[in-house]
């Protein structure tokens, strides 16, 4: 009997993922491979993500697969790569190639980076309307990693050696497909008499905001005399104090990138900024003019064409519009409403493909600590197909907003009352999910529609012993070295 050769076994395993060069590079020499890979993958890696990890991961993937199927997002944009690939697939099919339709049918995508990078890739796949749409797996290389955590890929930075990559590829091969909603965001305001109202990002515009540009003059959303911006998100949109803290963190990281190469220290820095920005002592340092109710009127649409006013407490300093059951590093601010909530308010569990967005409010970061308690959640404000923020005339000259972990400072015209931010359902893409997936589909018949127990009014006291936990909710944690006796 021949000796077992683990290296040969590994090579045979990797062949199941390798895409032949003539598929990837137009006009290259065709190869005779009638069956081809059973699980062809295209890998996109942000080599700057995760400190050195992104670069290391890029080297490992390129050493194991065809280097042309592993793309460094700093060198080439995903829309360029996918457009080239699918054009070549169509050309090959027309010329009678037998492998190209199998590649197109079986193709899966891996994206390695932070939530902003993953959102960028998801947006490109959605916009290109690829047929069939390739399902996407996400490698957690960011600070929050809400997207990969929601679909079972973890939230901690992965290993980058051969064994770690092969282990991840096995999960990709075994993963199930799941649809996910995406959300369109529209921002419109009258052109100010002085100054600019363009979004201000930390030093440079993040990838998740690249679509957040003025609409073209030919766009049907364009309105004469107004500045109109549009964008989209997959995980969440937030406004208020949490976005302000995130803006401070990203600004500091852009200025001093050498200090932000470790996920644990990043979370500690994030928490410290939460203290200095007033998120933990908002009543002392955060002017009431920045409370959400003072900033804007909020409206929701539950039925098509019917806008309803959404009452917002004067104490709410942050609003989060959630698409996934993961925010601030892995916690679920919506929770699971019980049968009484479903009956009285029509609230349901947070499904990721039901066309509804969950709207949650927080008073301050102390209030957010309730998320650490069993069944803890924020203030459930509404579930809706659309939500609209109408900013009060002259309330403030700017506010802070955040999409999928990427923040910006939004200037507001102080002499105008027609500043509107509107969020509406857009379309869906297909994700890959592991057996540890936290996201739930409304089409899964095995899932209960409600739970009989809930923690609506309790949780703050139970959370007291949990608030120093690390690894989740960097917005709400305080690092060990911070003395809480001096915060208020």
Query: Using 50, 70 and 90 to split pLDDT, how confident is the model at 473?
Result: very low
Asked if residue 150 and residue 186 are part of one domain, the reply reads no
Which DSSP state fits 365? H
**C-alpha to C-alpha distance for 401 and 318, rounded to whole angstroms:** 10
Asked if residue 221 and residue 161 are part of one domain, the reply reads no
Asked if residue 122 and residue 200 are part of one domain, the reply reads no
Q: Which of 174, 195, 222 is the last residue of a domain?
A: 174
Half-sphere exposure of 419 (CA within 13 A, CB side): 24
Asked if residue 258 and residue 109 are part of one domain, the reply reads no
Nearest in space to 392 (alpha carbons), one of 311, 318, 297? 297
- Reply yes or no on whether the pLDDT at 254 is more than 80: no
Asked if residue 378 and residue 231 are part of one domain, the reply reads yes
CATH (domain of 207): 2.60.200.40
**C-alpha to C-alpha distance for 290 and 98, rounded to whole angstroms:** 61
Asked if residue 127 and residue 97 are part of one domain, the reply reads yes
| Per-residue model confidence as pLDDT tens digits over 187-242 | 888 877 777 778 888 876 666 666 666 777 777 787 877 888 888 889 899 998 88
Higher pLDDT, 398 or 180: 180
Asked if residue 245 and residue 112 are part of one domain, the reply reads no
Residue 268: count other Cβ atoms within 10 Å of its Cβ.
19
| Per-residue model confidence as pLDDT tens digits over 298-334 | 999 998 889 999 999 988 888 999 999 887 767 788 9
Nearest in space to 186 (alpha carbons), one of 220, 158, 161? 220
Which residue range is the domain that position 312 belongs to? 182-433
Asked if residue 163 and residue 193 are part of one domain, the reply reads no
CATH (domain of 24): 3.40.50
pLDDT (0 to 100) of residue 485 = 43
Question: The pTM is what?
Answer: 0.80
292: left (phi over 0), alpha (psi -120 to 50) or beta: alpha
Please check whether residue 295 lies inside any domain of the structure: yes
- Reply yes or no on whether the pLDDT at 464 is more than 60: no
**C-alpha to C-alpha distance for 318 and 409, rounded to whole angstroms:** 15
Instruction: With beta carbons less than 8 A apart as the criterion, state whether 354 and 442 touch.
Output: yes
Asked if residue 410 and residue 339 are part of one domain, the reply reads yes
- Record the tokens describing residue 441, joined without a space: 């589909």
Strand 357-362 to strand 318-322: parallel, antiparallel, or no bridges (unpaired)?
antiparallel
Asked if residue 208 and residue 323 are part of one domain, the reply reads yes
Compute the radius of gyration of the chain from its Cα atoms.
23
Question: For the chain, first and last CA: distance in Å?
Answer: 74
Mean pLDDT of the chain: 81
* Number of domains within the chain: 2
Environment class of 6 (CB within 10 Å of its CB; exposed 0-12, middle 13-18, buried 19+): exposed
Please check whether residue 486 lies inside any domain of the structure: no
């Amino acid at each position: 009997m021949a000796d077992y050769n683990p290296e040969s076994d590994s090579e045979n395993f990797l062949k199941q993922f390798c895409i032949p060069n003539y598929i990837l590079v137009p006009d290259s020499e065709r190869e005779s491979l009638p069956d081809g890979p059973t699980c062809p993958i295209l890998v996109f890696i942000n080599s700057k993500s995760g400190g050195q990890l992104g670069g290391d991961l890029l080297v490992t993937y390129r050493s194991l697969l065809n280097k042309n199927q592993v793309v460094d997002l700093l060198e080439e944009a995903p829309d360029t790569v996918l457009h080239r690939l699918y054009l070549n697939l169509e050309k090959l099919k027309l010329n009678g190639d037998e492998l190209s339709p199998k590649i197109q049918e079986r193709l899966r995508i891996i994206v390695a980076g932070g939530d902003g990078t993953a959102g960028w890739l998801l947006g490109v796949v959605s916009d290109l309307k690829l047929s069939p749409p390739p399902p996407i797996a996400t490698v957690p290389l960011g600070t929050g990693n809400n997207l990969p955590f929601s679909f079972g890929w973890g939230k901690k930075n992965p290993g980058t050696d051969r064994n770690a990559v092969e282990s991840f590829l096995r999960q990709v091969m075994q993963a199930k497909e799941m649809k996910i909603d995406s959300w369109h965001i529209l921002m419109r305001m009258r052109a100010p008499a002085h100054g600019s109202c363009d979004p201000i990002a930390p030093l440079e515009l993040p990838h998740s905001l690249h679509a957040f540009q003025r609409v073209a003059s030919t766009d049907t959303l364009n309105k004469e005399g107004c500045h109109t911006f549009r964008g989209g998100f997959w995980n969440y949109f937030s406004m208020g104090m949490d976005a302000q803290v995130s803006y401070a963190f990203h600004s500091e990281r852009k200025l001093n990138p050498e200090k932000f190469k470790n996920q644990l220290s990043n979370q500690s820095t994030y928490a410290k900024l939460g203290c200095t920005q007033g998120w933990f002592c908002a009543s002392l340092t955060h002017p009431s003019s920045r409370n959400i109710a003072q900033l804007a009127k909020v409206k929701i649409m539950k039925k098509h064409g019917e806008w309803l006013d959404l009452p917002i407490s004067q104490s709410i300093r942050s609003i989060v519009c959630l698409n996934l059951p993961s925010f601030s590093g892995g916690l679920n601010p919506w929770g699971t409403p019980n049968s009484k909530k479903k009956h009285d308010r029509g609230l349901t569990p947070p499904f990721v493909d039901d066309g509804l967005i969950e709207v949650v409010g927080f008073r301050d970061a102390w209030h957010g600590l309730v998320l650490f308690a069993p069944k803890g959640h924020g203030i459930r404000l509404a579930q809706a197909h659309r939500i609209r923020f109408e900013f009060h005339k002259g309330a403030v000259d700017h506010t802070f907003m955040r999409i999928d972990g990427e923040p910006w400072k939004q200037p507001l015209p102080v002499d105008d009352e027609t500043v509107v931010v509107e969020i509406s359902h857009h379309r869906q893409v297909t994700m890959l999910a592991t057996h540890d997936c936290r996201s739930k589909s409304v089409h899964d018949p095995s899932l209960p529609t409600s739970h009989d127990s809930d923690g609506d009014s309790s949780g703050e006291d139970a959370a007291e012993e949990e608030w120093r936990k690390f690894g989740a909710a960097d917005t709400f944690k305080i690092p060990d070295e911070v003395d809480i006796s001096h915060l208020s």
